[in-house]
Amino acid sequence: MARKPIIAGNWKMNMTPAEAKELISALIPLVQDAQADVVICPPYLVLPTAAELVKGTNIALGAQNIHWAEKGAFTGEISAKMLKEVGVSYAIIGHSERRQYFGETDETVNMRTKAAIAAGITPIICVGESLEERETGKTEAIVSAQAEKALAGIEVEDVKALVIAYEPIWAIGTGKTATKEQANETIACIRETVKKLYGKENAEAVRIQYGGSMNPKNAAELMAMPEIDGGLIGGASLKAEDFSKVVKY
């Protein structure tokens, strides 16, 4: 089954609205004929500005997180309804920085995923192991367990549209990258987990990105691997030219 590649830029805590306007304006013509789906995920404050700029283009808008409740006393959080009204169609869920610094758990990842699906927002569910876990041979067990817990209770008809991002924690923001073979092997393991839960057809439909320091220099070799369907891009997404080179790997 041919899966359309998806390249998503996670801007993290970078870019003011003015800076975002400059970046997006430069990016639009560079990716207008892209063969991959293109997504940008700015900070919350930037979403309204970005939404206006990407209207009528092939760039979709994503959020960096999403809360599981519709509304309520959750200071600092943002709901699916709020995001949907602004024009968000994707949401990163369970990024390792959320897990490491802000108490994200497999259970909250699952709740956020369900909220996104219910609102018609496509989740980009992140899974990945630490350096210690990789060095002690626990990679497959860790990513399989994270994927299984994230998908608990998700209906079979919703699975095909999901995006999963394999992001080895040790390769995020460090400049280190898993070899193309390592990335492909681990993503195959994640796909096997989806197959175990939902069957071969659904597993073959799910797009699984690689999220460990993909950049213009290594994008082509990573994307040539049969299991890798795209990238969740950090640093390289903050420069229009670099991000467009990844999109057009």
CA-to-CA separations, 70 to 66, 83, 93, 238, in angstroms, rounded = 10, 11, 16, 31
Q: Which of 95, 97, 129, 133 is catalytic?
A: 95
- 97 among known catalytic residues: no
Distances (CA, A) of 142 to 93, 157, 173, 187, 193: 17, 25, 21, 12, 11
Residue 22 annotated among the catalytic residues of the structure = no
Give the CA distances from residue 56 to residues 28, 32, 35, 97, 149, in Å, rounded to whole numbers and listed in that order: 10, 11, 17, 32, 37
Task: Please check whether residue 241 is in contact with residue 30, taking contact to mean a CB–CB distance below 8 angstroms.
Answer: yes
Cα–Cα separations (whole angstroms), residue 118 to 154, 158, 187, 194: 10, 10, 26, 20
97, 129, 167, 227: which one is catalytic?
167
The residues annotated with a catalytic role in the active site are 95, 167
